[in-house]
């Protein structure tokens, strides 16, 4: 009986110790769709997908997908290297990720210094985007 109580107590302590402040507020993945692209004989919309990664210092990965007008399988999918390869955390508010026509805006902050930054991207034909100053 004492052995079971000890095991149960240790399990509770380990479970409590593995929870960090704010982790429950993290969205593991989210996406938005919109805008319009066209290239040669094809056209469609954009889908932006974000994923939160990390443990103590959370970062995000961001992908741009070019969806055809008829179908759900992307024609192209590329990571936004400027965010995904750095230590940037994407905001979780509804307006932290916005897509209008062919312009994408992502509000982020550096995972270590907490420096805020807005990444503005001009989206183009499948597989192409350009970071705006």
> Which sequence spans correspond to the domains of the chain?
25-131
Tens digits of per-residue pLDDT, 30-49? 888 999 999 888 899 999 99
76 and 86 Cβ atoms separated by less than 8 Å: no
**Starting at the edge strand that comes first in sequence, how are the strands of the sheet with 76-79 ordered?**
29-39, 42-53, 59-68, 76-79
Residue 106 CB neighbours (<10 A): 23
The reply to whether the predicted model has a pTM over 0.85 is no
User: Nearest CA to 31 among 44, 46, 49, 19?
Assistant: 49
pLDDT digits (tens, 9 = 90+) for 45-73: 999 999 988 887 888 999 999 999 987 88
């Amino acid at each position: 009986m004492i052995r079971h109580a000890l095991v149960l107590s240790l399990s509770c302590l380990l479970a409590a110790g593995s929870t960090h402040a704010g982790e429950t507020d993290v969205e593991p993945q989210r996406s938005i769709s919109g805008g319009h692209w066209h290239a040669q004989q094809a056209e469609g919309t954009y889908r932006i997908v974000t994923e939160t990664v990390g443990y103590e210092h959370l970062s995000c990965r961001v992908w741009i997908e070019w969806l055809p007008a008829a179908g759900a399988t992307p024609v192209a999918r590329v990571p936004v290297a400027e965010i995904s390869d750095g230590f940037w955390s994407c905001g979780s508010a509804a307006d932290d990720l916005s897509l209008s026509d062919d312009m994408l805006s992502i509000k982020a902050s550096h995972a270590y210094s907490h420096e805020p930054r807005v990444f503005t991207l001009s989206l183009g034909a499948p597989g192409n985007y350009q970071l705006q100053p």
